[in-house]
Amino acid sequence: MVFVQPFAIDFRYETEHVIAFCSGHPEYEAVEAFIARRSARGPHIRAILTRHDMSQVDHINEEDVVRERRASDPTRETYQAPVEFEPTTAGALPHSLLRFSSCKGETIVLELVAAFPADPAFGGLTDPQGHAPDVLPVMWRSASAVAARATRVTIDDVPYPIPVFVETADLVGMKAFYTRGFAVGIVRTRGVELDLVAAPAEMTVGQRWSYRQGGRRVDYEIAEREGDRVLIRRTPGKSETIHAHVSDDGLRIGRITLASGSETSSTLSVDFDPFLPAPARRASGVDPISTFCIGIDDHTSLVTGSVMPVETGFELVPVEPVWARSRAIDLRLTQDGNTLRLRSSISRAGSAGGIASCIHGTRRPRNA
């Protein structure tokens, strides 16, 4: 019996996040950074430049992480760079200074002053506004704030204006945002080949499916079994757990969970009802045979939709929220002897709305 968890999912809970949209630069439209604080060493920082075509470039402050990310997702532009992030306060307000050198040698500086303290009332699910259109992002903010007029973006010492996001009698908020606590799940697209090295002789605890992926080894180990239900963990790492059901025609996945890759505890879950189908040799356009929902911790059903069978695979078609509808994931799984080939792609149509609407739809932040 062959088994593999077919999705490529990254999940981390970041301590802080800053982002500013700017106008007038010939290439970039946004500067942002995710910061993960750690108990025994300095923070892990991923700074991102978003181009006008919505493609993105990562700049990470740790060389080993850059190597890992390039190996797992060679299509994403990722570079090592010294990234500085200095959190202070301006009175009682969060005040952050982000500085790094881009892969082209540009000096990027974002000085963000929040208009009010980060507030859970302005947290929630983030609309990516078409950024990184080749992935399905599921990002939950614990508490957020819009930026004040004092916020600045400079590139090679040239200032670039930040548009006004909201203006009321007592508040002017710029299109720049500060978040405290940010759970970030990314369902990536990929093309990968897995060579089967070993498979369980029987469905008992401790048995493994072992694959070779390039120069790396990937194992799926049966950790628990009760009747026709099995719990499988991916190694190395054991942060990914698969809940499956044993049937006459193979294993059927009912749930996938991932623990945060950072020090902060958090869990992303993908649930299928009744289960994720095996790759189907049927034409697309038939009725859905399953539904799915993606949640983070207690925030269930953040993204929901249908699973549609297609030839040698299936398609995850988001229904809610609206912005996710342009990011259906088409996944194909084929087998040639002991080699499994996984191919996934996503719609590149632009989504409506915007990350600005994450703060939040028609609601406007109050002056703190």
Q: What is the pTM of this model?
A: 0.86
Beta-sheet strands, E only, within 66-105: 77-80, 83-90, 93-101
pLDDT the model gives residue 342: 92
Q: What is the DSSP letter of 117?
A: -
Say which DSSP state 157 is in: T
Q: In the prediction, which pLDDT does 278 show?
A: 78
Q: What pLDDT is attached to residue 235?
A: 86
The distance in angstroms from the start CA to the end CA of the chain is 59
Are the beta carbons of 356 and 165 closer than 8 angstroms?
yes
Question: What is the model's pLDDT at position 277?
Answer: 84
| Residue 129 pLDDT | 86
Instruction: Tell me which H or E stretch contains 41.
Output: none
Angle at the Cα of 35 (from 64 to 67), degrees rounded to 5? 15
What sections of 28-181 are H helices per DSSP?
63-72
| CA neighbor of 45 nearest in space, from 253, 251, 262, 234 | 262
Q: What is the pLDDT of residue 154?
A: 98
- Report residues of the chain scoring pLDDT below 50: 283-284, 348-368
**Which pLDDT belongs to residue 220?**
95
Are the C-beta atoms of 246 and 230 separated by less than 8 Å? yes
Domain positions in the chain are 10-187, 190-346
pLDDT per residue over 46-76, tens digit each? 999 999 999 999 999 999 999 988 988 888 9
Q: Please report where in the chains the tokens 């995710």 appear, as a residue.
A: 34
Q: What's the DSSP call for residue 148? A: P
Give backbone dihedrals phi and psi of 334, rounded to 5 degrees, phi first.
-125, 155
Please provide the size of the chain in residues.
368
Measure Cα distances from 264 to 11, 40, 314 in Å: 11, 13, 33
Looking at residue 248, its pLDDT comes to 79
Indicate the DSSP class of residue 162: P
Q: For residue 354, what pLDDT is reported?
A: 37
Per the structure block, which two tokens stand in for 130? 């078409």
* Per-residue model confidence as pLDDT tens digits over 102-115: 999 999 999 999 99
- Predicted local confidence at residue 366, as pLDDT: 34
User: What does each C-alpha distance from 308 to 242, 301, 312 come to in angstroms?
Assistant: 21, 18, 12
- Rounded CA gap, 140 and 49, in Å? 21
